[in-house]
Structure 1
Amino acid sequence: NLSRAEETGRIIAGRLGLPLLEADERIRERAYGQVEGLTAAEREARWGKNWNQQEFGQEKDEQLQARGLAFMEDLSAKHSDRNVLVVSHGGFLAQLYIALYKDKYTQRIGNLSLTILEKKDKEWNPLLYNCSRHILQNQR
């Protein structure tokens, strides 16, 4: 589901006067198969405490990473001469960063965090990673 990320993107684009690109399904959160849309309590009630160790058609990390990398390559090809703001979900972004950087970055992706990536040659270099200073500044 991209609705929260789409709404956030619309708000940011409107506030900054930026053009809004069409949403791309490849940057949606992980697909959870049969457990999609259920709370942890509902999942536990249906399938027991170890529900998360069972197979319910959830999208695998490798699948999530592959679509993330494909998105990044297309983004780079279509907008090589521009800066692009991408709004997505933390779980997706965590897997994208694993695909890009292996185990170099392991901290949890914070809600509303900002990461700035720059593509040089074939590598995406993080100029800023998982930064939440803007949130702390607004809480004062």
Structure 2
Amino acid sequence: MTTTIGLIRHGSTLWNKEARIQGHTDNPLDDEGLKQAAEIAERLSGEEWELVYSSDMLRARQTAEVIAARLGFTVAGLVPGIREMSGGLLEGTNEQERVERWGKDWRTLELGLETRESGRLRGSSAIEELAERHPGRRILVVSHGAILRSALSGLVPDLDLSQLLKNTSLTRIIKSGDTWTCDLYNCVEHYGI
């Protein structure tokens, strides 16, 4: 029996365009983000999906609600374990502001960011729990770029994660027995539908 999970990064926000770290700041989608959500929803309507789950953060929930409505069902639940990783003191800042506040070596400072290890454990555990709750099903999970990449590093350790996830990209992972594989990564073929 295989369980398939489609991982979707939320649509764009104003802070995405301004290159500001969002983390736990609960920003809404912007107009482009709502359009992107409609585009991925249209694409997914031609596939066989059974459930939609979302992070409990607004930008992911809005994306998930557009997708679920197009597929003819409601969001099955909100999953705090897949909320974005905390950006600590960096939330709301862009690169220039970080350099002005903390200097060009700001990355070496302790600024309250959630660690990659914490994100890997939290995200992969949340996805494993969904797979265990719905074995053999096809589940969509709407979340965030950093936590999804961190979760994937735990579930599919050999996967090349060097490419950042695009807004409303689809990454598909499949669980067979105790093993996860990824057969689609960061796909945005629906852009412009």
Range class of TM-score, shorter chain: 0.7 to 0.9
Structure 1 SS opposite 2:129 = helix
Amino acid at match of 1:123: T
Give the total of aligned pairs. Answer: 137
Describe how 1:109-120 pairs up with structure 2 within 5 A.
109-120=165-176
Query: Which structure has more RCO (C-alpha within 8 Å, separation ≥ 6)?
Result: 2
Three-state SS of the structure 2 residue aligned to 1:12 is helix
Please give the TM-score of this superposition, normalised by the length of structure 2: 0.65
Do structure 1's residue 70 and structure 2's residue 125 form an aligned pair?
yes
Superposed counterparts of 1:1-140, under 5 Å: 1=24, 2-108=57-163, 109-135=165-191, 138=193
Q: Percent of counterpart pairs with the same letter?
A: 37
Q: Give the equivalent residue in structure 1 for 2:31.
A: none
Conserved 8 A contact 1:26-1:71: yes
Higher strand share: 2
Identify if the C-alpha distance between structure 1 residues 32 and 132 changes in structure 2 by more than 3 Å, giving closer, same or farther. same
Asked if the contact 2:169/2:188 (under 8 Å) is kept, the reply is: yes
> 1:80 is paired with a residue of what secondary structure?
coil
Question: Which structure is higher in helix share?
Answer: 1
- Runs of 4+ with >6 A deviation: none
C-alpha separation between the residues in 1 aligned to 2:73 and 2:183? 22
Q: CA RMSD in A?
A: 1.7
